[in-house]
């Protein structure tokens, strides 16, 4: 009887170890532990990061004034899930770096923008009301944004700086306020997007904000 119980215990241990190894192999065999993410600007100027990860992946957030890190770790107790974490913009910069336990390359995001206004629930973003960056599994980026009424929007490309420009210009005849555009990365894997705002009172001085750099 003792031998039988010992054999059953050994079989359970082997099965458990085998299952754990299979899960780890499944996670590590994926190109990315991170399926996708969304970064959206909040009404107070802060940013909300929503991560979507695969089965068996845990998400840990480490905040820092210089670089905010999002660690993706193997966690066999978790199913595919989504988490949201908020960040303040300090010194007009927000840097987010994903780091995965499987050592595969993960995206980095850098945003140059006005500081978060902690004393106000709403902040004037100029001609831009809000925007969101949505990562796709193929490495491309979808940019969704809304502008104020009476703002004309056009898209361009700066060959000298390899930057995708979005021009926002006051125009009382403009009627559209919602826009969506997909972007592919450059040959070096990076993607740069600048919002360039021109108001009636600053025709001679364009304001570039926010400025986004994405490395998949």
DSSP labels, 7-66: HHHHHHHHHHHHHHHHHHHHHHHSS-SEEEEEEEE-TTS-EEEEEEE-TTEEEEEE--SS
Q: Count the neighbouring beta carbons within 10 Å of the beta carbon of residue 77.
A: 7
Q: In this model, does residue 122 exceed pLDDT 60?
A: no
Distance CA 215, CA 164 (A): 14
pLDDT of residue 124: 66
d(CA 149, CA 50) in angstroms, rounded, equals: 28
Q: Which of 7-11, 95-99, 137-141 has the lowest mean pLDDT?
A: 7-11
Residue with tokens 């802060």: 46
pLDDT at 137: 76
Residue 146: pLDDT band with limits 50, 70, 90: very high
**pLDDT greater than 70 at residue 26:** no
Closest CA to 96 of 129, 47, 30, 24: 47
Can you tell me the mean pLDDT for 189-210?
82
Q: What is the pLDDT at residue 12?
A: 46
Asked if the model's pLDDT at residue 156 lies above 80, the reply is: yes
The pLDDT, as a whole number, for residue 203 is 55
Domain ranges of the chain: 1-123, 141-216
């Amino acid at each position: 009887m003792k031998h039988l119980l010992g054999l059953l215990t050994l079989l359970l241990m082997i099965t458990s170890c085998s299952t754990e190894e299979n899960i780890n192999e499944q996670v590590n065999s994926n190109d990315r532990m991170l399926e996708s993410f969304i970064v959206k600007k909040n009404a107070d100027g802060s940013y909300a990061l929503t991560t979507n990860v695969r089965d068996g992946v845990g998400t840990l957030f480490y905040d820092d004034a210089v670089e905010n890190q999002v660690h993706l770790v193997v966690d066999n107790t978790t199913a595919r899930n989504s988490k949201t974490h908020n960040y303040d913009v300090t010194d007009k910069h927000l840097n987010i770096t994903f780091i995965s336990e499987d050592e595969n390359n993960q995206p980095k995001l850098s945003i140059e923008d006005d500081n978060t206004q902690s004393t106000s629930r709403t902040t004037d973003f100029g001609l831009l009301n809000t925007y969101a960056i949505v990562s796709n599994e193929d490495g491309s980026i979808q940019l969704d944004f809304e502008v104020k009424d009476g703002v004309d929007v056009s898209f361009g490309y700066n060959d000298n700086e390899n930057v995708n420009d979005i021009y926002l210009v006051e125009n009382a005849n403009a009627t559209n306020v919602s826009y969506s555009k997909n972007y592919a990365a450059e040959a070096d894997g990076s993607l740069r997007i600048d919002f360039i705002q021109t108001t009636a009172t600053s025709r001679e001085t364009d304001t570039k904000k926010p400025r986004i750099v994405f490395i998949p």
